[in-house]
Structure 1
Amino acid sequence: MTAYAIAHLRPAAPHPDVVRYIEEIQATMDPFGGRFRVHNAEVEVREGEWPGALVVLEFPDIERARAWYDSPAYQEILPLRARHIEGDLVLVPGVADDYDATRTAAAMRGRGGQQ
Protein backbone atom coordinates (compact mmCIF):
# COMPACT_ATOMS: atom_id res chain seq x y z
CA MET A 1 0.00 0.00 0.00
CA THR A 2 1.34 3.43 -0.93
CA ALA A 3 2.93 5.49 1.85
CA TYR A 4 3.87 9.13 2.15
CA ALA A 5 6.50 11.29 3.78
CA ILE A 6 4.84 14.61 4.55
CA ALA A 7 6.87 17.62 5.64
CA HIS A 8 5.70 20.99 6.90
CA LEU A 9 8.72 23.27 6.55
CA ARG A 10 8.77 26.71 8.17
CA PRO A 11 9.76 29.85 6.26
CA ALA A 12 13.51 30.37 5.99
CA ALA A 13 16.00 32.42 4.05
CA PRO A 14 17.61 30.70 1.05
CA HIS A 15 20.89 28.96 1.86
CA PRO A 16 23.44 27.10 -0.34
CA ASP A 17 23.16 24.01 1.89
CA VAL A 18 19.44 23.81 1.16
CA VAL A 19 20.09 24.07 -2.58
CA ARG A 20 22.58 21.20 -2.30
CA TYR A 21 20.02 19.17 -0.31
CA ILE A 22 17.43 19.70 -3.04
CA GLU A 23 19.97 18.74 -5.71
CA GLU A 24 20.79 15.48 -3.92
CA ILE A 25 17.51 14.28 -2.39
CA GLN A 26 16.09 12.54 -5.47
CA ALA A 27 19.11 10.24 -5.68
CA THR A 28 18.45 9.15 -2.07
CA MET A 29 14.81 8.37 -2.93
CA ASP A 30 15.37 6.49 -6.20
CA PRO A 31 16.50 3.17 -4.65
CA PHE A 32 13.27 3.10 -2.60
CA GLY A 33 10.86 4.07 -5.38
CA GLY A 34 10.29 7.55 -3.94
CA ARG A 35 8.73 10.38 -5.93
CA PHE A 36 7.81 13.97 -5.22
CA ARG A 37 4.06 14.53 -5.26
CA VAL A 38 4.07 18.07 -3.81
CA HIS A 39 7.15 20.26 -3.55
CA ASN A 40 6.99 23.74 -2.12
CA ALA A 41 3.53 24.33 -3.54
CA GLU A 42 1.53 27.33 -2.44
CA VAL A 43 -1.07 26.09 0.01
CA GLU A 44 -4.59 27.43 0.27
CA VAL A 45 -5.30 27.62 4.00
CA ARG A 46 -8.96 26.94 4.77
CA GLU A 47 -8.67 26.16 8.49
CA GLY A 48 -6.06 27.16 11.03
CA GLU A 49 -2.65 28.47 10.10
CA TRP A 50 0.01 27.09 7.81
CA PRO A 51 3.23 29.09 7.85
CA GLY A 52 5.74 27.64 5.44
CA ALA A 53 5.86 25.03 2.72
CA LEU A 54 4.40 21.59 2.15
CA VAL A 55 6.33 18.66 0.70
CA VAL A 56 4.75 15.27 -0.04
CA LEU A 57 6.84 12.30 -1.12
CA GLU A 58 5.27 9.03 -2.27
CA PHE A 59 6.75 5.57 -1.73
CA PRO A 60 5.43 2.15 -2.78
CA ASP A 61 4.90 1.16 0.87
CA ILE A 62 5.67 2.23 4.45
CA GLU A 63 8.67 -0.10 4.70
CA ARG A 64 10.40 1.64 1.80
CA ALA A 65 9.50 5.06 3.19
CA ARG A 66 11.14 4.11 6.49
CA ALA A 67 14.13 2.58 4.72
CA TRP A 68 14.62 5.78 2.71
CA TYR A 69 14.47 8.03 5.77
CA ASP A 70 16.84 5.80 7.73
CA SER A 71 19.22 5.25 4.81
CA PRO A 72 22.81 6.43 5.16
CA ALA A 73 22.43 8.44 1.94
CA TYR A 74 19.47 10.45 3.26
CA GLN A 75 20.86 10.81 6.77
CA GLU A 76 24.04 12.25 5.23
CA ILE A 77 22.19 15.11 3.49
CA LEU A 78 19.45 15.69 6.08
CA PRO A 79 21.54 18.16 8.14
CA LEU A 80 21.89 20.36 5.05
CA ARG A 81 18.19 21.16 5.35
CA ALA A 82 17.64 20.70 9.08
CA ARG A 83 20.32 23.24 10.04
CA HIS A 84 18.56 25.96 8.09
CA ILE A 85 14.84 25.10 7.93
CA GLU A 86 12.75 24.08 10.90
CA GLY A 87 9.97 21.66 10.20
CA ASP A 88 8.05 18.51 10.93
CA LEU A 89 8.12 15.29 8.93
CA VAL A 90 5.82 12.30 9.28
CA LEU A 91 5.67 8.96 7.51
CA VAL A 92 2.15 7.69 6.97
CA PRO A 93 0.64 4.73 5.15
CA GLY A 94 -2.04 5.54 2.62
CA VAL A 95 -5.41 3.86 2.36
CA ALA A 96 -6.36 1.08 -0.05
CA ASP A 97 -7.77 2.08 -3.44
CA ASP A 98 -11.19 0.81 -2.38
CA TYR A 99 -11.23 2.71 0.94
CA ASP A 100 -14.66 4.08 1.79
CA ALA A 101 -15.06 6.38 4.80
CA THR A 102 -18.68 5.32 5.23
CA ARG A 103 -17.50 1.81 6.18
CA THR A 104 -15.21 3.34 8.79
CA ALA A 105 -18.09 5.40 10.16
CA ALA A 106 -20.34 2.35 10.28
CA ALA A 107 -17.70 0.39 12.18
CA MET A 108 -17.36 3.29 14.62
CA ARG A 109 -21.11 3.11 15.22
CA GLY A 110 -20.73 -0.54 16.14
CA ARG A 111 -22.41 -1.99 13.07
CA GLY A 112 -19.31 -3.94 12.09
CA GLY A 113 -18.89 -2.04 8.86
CA GLN A 114 -22.33 -3.02 7.51
CA GLN A 115 -24.33 -0.28 5.83
Structure 2
Amino acid sequence: MTTYAICHLQPRATGPTPQEVADYIERIQATMDPFGGHFLVHGVEPEVVEGPWPGALVMIGFPDAAAARAWYASPAYQQILPLRLAHFTCRTVLVDGVPPGYDATATAHAIRSAAGGDGA
Protein backbone atom coordinates (compact mmCIF):
# COMPACT_ATOMS: atom_id res chain seq x y z
CA MET A 1 0.00 0.00 0.00
CA THR A 2 1.39 3.41 -0.93
CA THR A 3 2.55 5.59 1.95
CA TYR A 4 2.73 9.35 1.62
CA ALA A 5 5.11 11.78 3.30
CA ILE A 6 3.20 15.05 3.61
CA CYS A 7 4.82 18.28 4.75
CA HIS A 8 3.11 21.60 5.46
CA LEU A 9 5.79 24.28 5.06
CA GLN A 10 5.67 27.79 6.47
CA PRO A 11 8.63 30.14 5.97
CA ARG A 12 10.17 31.37 9.21
CA ALA A 13 9.86 35.09 10.03
CA THR A 14 13.38 35.74 8.81
CA GLY A 15 12.56 34.16 5.45
CA PRO A 16 14.41 31.39 3.69
CA THR A 17 17.94 31.77 2.37
CA PRO A 18 17.55 31.01 -1.34
CA GLN A 19 20.95 29.30 -1.69
CA GLU A 20 20.32 26.84 1.15
CA VAL A 21 16.77 26.14 0.02
CA ALA A 22 18.03 25.52 -3.53
CA ASP A 23 20.72 23.20 -2.14
CA TYR A 24 18.08 21.18 -0.25
CA ILE A 25 15.82 20.95 -3.31
CA GLU A 26 18.73 20.02 -5.54
CA ARG A 27 19.77 17.15 -3.25
CA ILE A 28 16.44 15.68 -2.08
CA GLN A 29 15.65 13.58 -5.16
CA ALA A 30 18.83 11.53 -4.75
CA THR A 31 17.79 10.72 -1.15
CA MET A 32 14.38 9.46 -2.31
CA ASP A 33 15.47 7.38 -5.31
CA PRO A 34 16.81 4.35 -3.35
CA PHE A 35 13.45 4.09 -1.55
CA GLY A 36 11.18 4.48 -4.60
CA GLY A 37 10.04 7.95 -3.55
CA HIS A 38 8.58 10.42 -6.02
CA PHE A 39 7.02 13.86 -5.74
CA LEU A 40 3.27 14.12 -6.13
CA VAL A 41 3.08 17.75 -4.98
CA HIS A 42 6.11 19.98 -4.52
CA GLY A 43 6.03 23.31 -2.74
CA VAL A 44 2.75 24.65 -4.08
CA GLU A 45 0.34 26.86 -2.20
CA PRO A 46 -2.95 24.96 -2.17
CA GLU A 47 -6.33 26.44 -2.96
CA VAL A 48 -7.81 26.57 0.53
CA VAL A 49 -11.52 25.76 0.59
CA GLU A 50 -11.88 25.14 4.32
CA GLY A 51 -9.90 26.25 7.37
CA PRO A 52 -6.62 28.12 7.65
CA TRP A 53 -3.62 26.91 5.67
CA PRO A 54 -0.73 29.35 5.56
CA GLY A 55 2.21 28.10 3.57
CA ALA A 56 2.94 25.45 0.98
CA LEU A 57 2.51 21.70 0.63
CA VAL A 58 4.85 18.88 -0.33
CA MET A 59 3.64 15.32 -0.87
CA ILE A 60 5.95 12.40 -1.68
CA GLY A 61 4.74 8.88 -2.49
CA PHE A 62 6.62 5.74 -1.41
CA PRO A 63 5.84 2.11 -2.22
CA ASP A 64 5.05 1.36 1.44
CA ALA A 65 5.48 2.55 5.03
CA ALA A 66 8.81 0.77 5.49
CA ALA A 67 10.29 2.61 2.50
CA ALA A 68 8.97 5.98 3.72
CA ARG A 69 10.38 5.46 7.21
CA ALA A 70 13.71 4.23 5.85
CA TRP A 71 14.01 7.30 3.58
CA TYR A 72 13.28 9.75 6.41
CA ALA A 73 15.77 8.03 8.74
CA SER A 74 18.44 7.57 6.06
CA PRO A 75 21.81 9.24 6.59
CA ALA A 76 21.50 10.93 3.18
CA TYR A 77 18.20 12.61 4.08
CA GLN A 78 19.20 13.41 7.66
CA GLN A 79 22.27 15.20 6.26
CA ILE A 80 20.15 17.68 4.25
CA LEU A 81 17.17 17.94 6.64
CA PRO A 82 18.73 20.83 8.65
CA LEU A 83 18.71 22.95 5.47
CA ARG A 84 14.91 22.76 5.41
CA LEU A 85 14.36 23.02 9.15
CA ALA A 86 16.53 26.14 9.40
CA HIS A 87 14.22 28.07 7.09
CA PHE A 88 10.74 26.60 7.46
CA THR A 89 8.36 25.63 10.22
CA CYS A 90 7.19 22.19 9.15
CA ARG A 91 4.55 19.70 10.07
CA THR A 92 5.50 16.38 8.50
CA VAL A 93 3.50 13.16 8.64
CA LEU A 94 3.68 9.71 7.09
CA VAL A 95 0.27 8.31 6.18
CA ASP A 96 -0.83 5.13 4.44
CA GLY A 97 -3.08 5.42 1.43
CA VAL A 98 -6.16 3.28 1.00
CA PRO A 99 -5.85 -0.24 -0.43
CA PRO A 100 -6.90 -0.99 -4.01
CA GLY A 101 -10.67 -1.28 -4.30
CA TYR A 102 -11.32 0.75 -1.13
CA ASP A 103 -15.02 1.53 -0.73
CA ALA A 104 -16.10 4.20 1.77
CA THR A 105 -19.58 2.65 1.87
CA ALA A 106 -18.12 -0.54 3.37
CA THR A 107 -16.33 1.55 6.01
CA ALA A 108 -19.60 3.29 6.92
CA HIS A 109 -21.31 -0.11 7.19
CA ALA A 110 -18.57 -1.41 9.53
CA ILE A 111 -18.93 1.70 11.74
CA ARG A 112 -22.69 1.23 11.96
CA SER A 113 -22.32 -2.49 12.72
CA ALA A 114 -19.74 -1.82 15.46
CA ALA A 115 -22.09 0.75 16.99
CA GLY A 116 -24.93 -1.78 17.08
CA GLY A 117 -26.76 -0.38 14.08
CA ASP A 118 -28.21 -2.46 11.29
CA GLY A 119 -25.76 -1.18 8.69
CA ALA A 120 -28.57 -0.21 6.33
**TM-score, normalised by the number of residues in structure 1:** 0.93
Give the match for residue 7 of structure 1.
7
Which letter maps to 1:47? E
CA RMSD of aligned residues (A): 1.6
Match runs of 1:9-48 below 5 Å: 9-12=9-12, 13-15=15-17, 16-48=19-51
Q: Distance in 2 between matches of 1:103 and 1:6?
A: 26
Find the residue that maps to 2:21 and give its secondary structure: helix
Find the residue that maps to 1:104 and give its secondary structure: helix
Match runs of 1:79-98 below 5 Å: 79-98=82-101
Q: Distance in 2 between matches of 1:67 and 1:53?
A: 24
Per-residue deviation, residues 15-41 of structure 1 (Å, max 9, x unmatched): 121110000000000000000000112
* Structure 1 residue 8 displacement after superposition: 0.2
Find the residue that maps to 2:113 and give its secondary structure: coil
The answer for unaligned runs of 5 or more in structure 1 is none
CA contact (8 A) 2:3 2:64 kept: yes
Q: Distance in 2 between matches of 1:11 and 1:25?
A: 18
The answer for unaligned runs of 5 or more in structure 2 is none
**TM-score, normalised by the number of residues in structure 2:** 0.89
Find the residue that maps to 2:88 and give its secondary structure: coil
Greater C-alpha radius of gyration: 2
Aligned length in residues: 114
Find the residue that maps to 1:109 and give its secondary structure: helix
Q: 2:67 aligns with which of 64, 71, 86?
A: 64
Stretches of 4+ aligned residues off by more than 4 angstroms? none
